[in-house]
Amino acid sequence: MDIKLFIDKVFDTAKNMKLDDFEIYFTSSENETIKVFKGEIDTYSNSQNMGISFRVKVNEKMGYSYTESIEEEDILPLIERAISNAKVIENLDVIEIYGEKSIYEKIDSFNPVLKDITVDAKINFLLKAEKTALELDSRVKSVNYCVIGSGYGENIIKNSKGLDLYHNGNSIYAYIAVVVQDGDSIKNDSAYIVTKDFSNMDPIKLATEAVTKALNKLNSISIDSKPYDVIIENDAFADLLGAMSGIFSGEAIQKGVSKLKGKIGEVVANSIVTITDNPHLKDGYGSAPFDAEGVPTQCKHLIEDGILKTYLHNLKTAKKDNVKTTGNAAKGGYKGTMGISAFNLYLEKGNQSFQELLDKLQNGVLITGFSGLHSGLNSISGDFSLATEGFLIENGAITKPLNQITSAGNFFDLLKNIEYIGNDLKFNLSGVGSPSLLIKNISISS
Measure the CA–CA gap between 97 and 414, rounded to whole angstroms: 39
- Whether the full predicted model's pTM is greater than 0.75, yes or no, is yes
Q: Residue 136, Cα to own-chain centre: how many angstroms?
A: 32
pLDDT of residue 102: 92
Amino acid at 282: K
pLDDT by residue (tens digit) across 182-197? 999 999 999 999 999 9
Q: Residue 20, Cα to own-chain centre: how many angstroms?
A: 36
Phi, psi angle pair for 84, to nearest 5°: -65, -40
Measure the CA–CA gap between 265 and 83, rounded to whole angstroms: 42
pLDDT by residue (tens digit) across 100-128? 999 999 999 999 999 999 999 999 999 99
In the predicted model, is pLDDT for residue 91 greater than 80? no
Instruction: Write out the DSSP string of 167-209.
Output: EEEEEEEEEEEEEEEETTEEEEEEEEEEES-GGG--HHHHHHH
Per DSSP, which regions of 208-288 are E strands? Answer: 226-232, 275-277
Measure the CA–CA gap between 302 and 313, rounded to whole angstroms: 11
pLDDT by residue (tens digit) across 197-222? 999 999 999 999 999 999 999 999 99
pLDDT of residue 93: 78
Q: Is 289 exposed, middle or buried (0-12, 13-18, 19+ CB in 10 A)?
A: buried
Could you count the other beta carbons within 10 Å of the beta carbon of residue 298? 17
Kind and range of the H or E element at 325?
none
Q: How far is CA 274 from CA 235, 258, 281, in A?
A: 17, 19, 16
Measure the CA–CA gap between 63 and 107, rounded to whole angstroms: 31
pLDDT of residue 95: 86
To the nearest whole number, what is the mean pLDDT of the chain?
96
- Which letter, b or e, does each residue of 239-263 get, where b requires 16 or more Cβ atoms within 10 Å of its Cβ? bbbbbbbbbbbbbbbbeeebbbeee
Reported as a pLDDT band with limits 50, 70 and 90, residue 89 is confident
Ramachandran class of 168: left when φ > 0, alpha when ψ lies in -120 to 50, beta otherwise? beta
In the predicted model, is pLDDT for residue 94 greater than 80? no
pLDDT by residue (tens digit) across 272-297? 999 999 999 998 989 999 999 999 99
Amino acid at 318: A
Measure the CA–CA gap between 440 and 355, rounded to whole angstroms: 17
Instruction: Write out the DSSP string of 206-228.
Output: HHHHHHHHHHHTSS-B----EEE
